[in-house]
Structures are given as structure tokens and as C-alpha cells.
């Protein structure tokens, strides 16, 4: 089994390379694959001898997307569409990573995969365009919506909290945004499994949710980070309204993962165990 992977240095891209096992990867990073050039990226799909494709590239700067929506649209929408069309032309399964930001973030119930989409900002809008382009290509595919991605790589919430917790005695953290932290390692494992299963059974194509559990607030997530690594930093709850940002954040990022387990046999990952692995990777415990 061989998989063409778009994304080399991002959180999921790095974990895909660490966790591929017996699966051979053809990895295309930013030095080779310009994600602002849809047709160039599609060319890698046309030329590959891989059995499936995983797209782990995205423009994820949520606030910056408000000012750079055209760039975000190219990376999150146009290029995934071109990749999907090239994959469909060759009947290659495509696993495409998306986000909970395609929803409006209201309510308190987990979003089902068929819940109406209504993005709150540019990032979510551009990711939704990418989703629809993948569907419209009509090839074998799995759109994997995830949330709150963390790992020992790059910039993410865990690493930011570790830094700030080491510098300060008290942090104020948003407590009214609720969601499922998702470790990049769990996403990588799931994407590899889904790609292999789609090769064997393209009828499993569709849209799925993949988020860690249990659902938690950013504030309580921070408390667990500090508890596991023994950081003596107080965490005080604040509402989202006390932390203004250019892009509106969803208050509800809960997602229903039942379909993913039913179709692919992939259970919802425990982010607390994944966090332990991340902290060990970072030498914090």
C-alpha cells in the first residue's frame, strides 16, 4: 500500500510520517507542492503510483484568514478541489481533513455529520468550499472533520500553555467554548486506516467526524495540561467576550463521532492519554 500525502511539516503531516508503519508514503511538502497553484498540485496526483491520497494541508490561521480570505480560499478550497478531480479521474481514494468551523457553533449538542453548515468566518467558509469541491469530484473520498488539533509539533494550544504557564503564576482562559481536543497522532492513524479501507471498499465514501473525547472547555483543557506536567499556574475562567479576536470563535465545537466508528471501526480517541504522549515527547513528564 502506498499513499500520496500532501503536507510534510504540519502537525498531521509529521505524525503521518511517524506512524505510517508498513504503508509507503510519497510526501509532498511546501518546497515541492505550491498549494496556491491548484493545477500543479493536481499534477502530483496524476503522476503518482500511489493507491490513495491524503490531504493534510490547510490554511489554519483563523484570524489572519479574515484579511487573507483569497489566499485561504486557494489553499483550503481551490487546490483541494483540483486534487480531488485528479484523484477521481484515476479512481484514487482521497482522505481530506476538514474542521468543525464549517458549523455555526451554536447549541450544546454534538454536531452530526449531516447537520446544516453555516461558517462564522473566512476560515470556515474556505474549508466548506474545499469540502464541497471534494464531493463534487465524485471520486472515492472521506472528508474527516476534526477540531482543536494538538501535538508536540509546530505551534498549538498545548505548547502555548506550557510556555505561558512557565512564565506566569495565573492565566485567564476561555471557559465557554466547548469541544474535543484531537491529537494529531490520532488523526494520522485514522487517516491511514480510512485510506486503506477506501481502497478496499469505496462505498464507504462520505463525510465523517473525528474529534477527541471527552468534550471540555479550553480552561479545563489547560488545567489538565498543567496537572499532568506539574505546572503550578492558576487557571481562571473567562467568557469569550473577554477575549476579543478578529474571527468569531464557535462556542460549541462538539462533534458526533458515531458514524466514524460504525463505518470504519475507529473509536473516539481519549485526548488525555494523547496529551500524556505529547508531554512525554516534549520532555515535560
In sequence order, the 6+-apart residues with CB closer than 8 A to the CB of 206 are 113, 141, 142, 143, 259, 263
Q: Would you say 157 and 164 are in contact if contact means Cβ atoms under 8 Å apart? A: no
d(CA 262, CA 246): 38
> Considering 101, 123, 208, 243, which one is annotated as catalytic?
123
Closest by alpha carbon to 33, among 63, 60, 53? 53
Torsion of CA 259, 263, 266, 267, to 10 degrees: 40
3-state secondary structure (DSSP) of residue 105: coil
d(CA 262, CA 68): 38
Determine if the peptide bond prior to 214 is cis (ω within 30°). Answer: yes
User: Quick one: cell of 262?
Assistant: 460504525
Q: Would you say 50 and 94 are in contact if contact means Cβ atoms under 8 Å apart? A: no
Q: Would you say 113 and 71 are in contact if contact means Cβ atoms under 8 Å apart? A: no
Tell me, yes or no, if 59 is annotated catalytic.
no
Alpha helix (H) ranges present in the chain? 11-19, 38-47, 69-73, 79-89, 122-137, 157-167, 184-200, 218-229, 258-264, 271-281
d(CA 45, CA 48): 5
Catalytic machinery residues: 123
Amino acid at each position: 500500500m502506498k499513499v500520496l500525502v500532501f503536507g510534510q511539516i504540519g502537525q498531521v503531516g509529521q505524525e503521518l510520517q511517524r506512524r505510517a508503519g508498513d504503508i509507503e508514503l510519497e510526501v509532498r511538502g511546501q518546497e515541492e507542492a505550491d498549494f496556491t497553484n491548484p493545477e500543479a498540485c493536481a499534477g502530483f496526483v496524476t503522476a503518482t503510483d500511489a493507491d490513495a491520497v491524503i490531504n493534510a494541508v490547510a490554511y489554519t490561521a483563523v484570524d489572519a484568514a479574515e484579511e487573507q480570505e483569497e489566499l485561504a480560499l486557494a489553499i483550503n478550497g481551490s487546490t483541494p478541489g483540483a486534487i480531488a478531480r485528479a484523484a477521481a479521474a484515476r479512481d484514487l481514494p482521497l482522505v481530506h481533513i476538514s474542521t468543525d468551523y464549517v458549523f455555526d457553533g451554536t447549541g450544546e449538542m454534538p454536531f452530526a455529520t449531516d447537520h446544516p453548515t453555516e461558517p462564522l468566518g473566512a476560515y470556515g467558509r474556505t474549508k466548506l468550499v474545499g469540502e464541497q469541491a471534494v464531493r463534487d469530484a465524485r471520486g472515492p473520498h472521506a472528508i474527516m472533520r476534526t477540531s482543536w488539533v494538538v501535538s508536540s509539533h509546530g505551534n498549538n494550544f498545548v505548547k502555548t500553555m506550557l510556555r505561558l504557564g512557565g512564565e506566569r503564576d495565573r492565566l485567564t482562559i476561555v471557559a465557554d467554548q466547548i469541544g474535543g481536543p484531537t491529537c494529531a497522532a490520532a488523526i494520522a492513524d485514522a487517516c491511514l486506516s480510512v485510506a486503506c479501507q477506501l481502497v478496499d471498499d469505496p462505498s464507504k465514501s462520505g463525510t465523517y467526524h473525528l474529534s477527541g473525547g471527552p468534550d471540555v472547555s479550553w480552561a479545563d483543557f489547560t488545567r489538565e495540561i498543567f496537572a499532568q506536567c506539574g505546572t503550578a499556574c492558576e487557571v481562571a475562567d473567562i467568557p469569550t467576550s473577554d477575549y476579543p479576536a478578529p474571527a468569531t470563535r464557535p462556542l460549541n465545537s462538539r462533534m458526533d463521532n458515531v458514524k466514524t466508528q460504525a463505518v470504519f471501526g475507529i473509536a473516539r480517541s481519549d485526548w488525555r492519554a494523547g496529551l500524556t504522549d505529547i508531554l512525554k515527547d516534549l520532555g515535560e513528564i
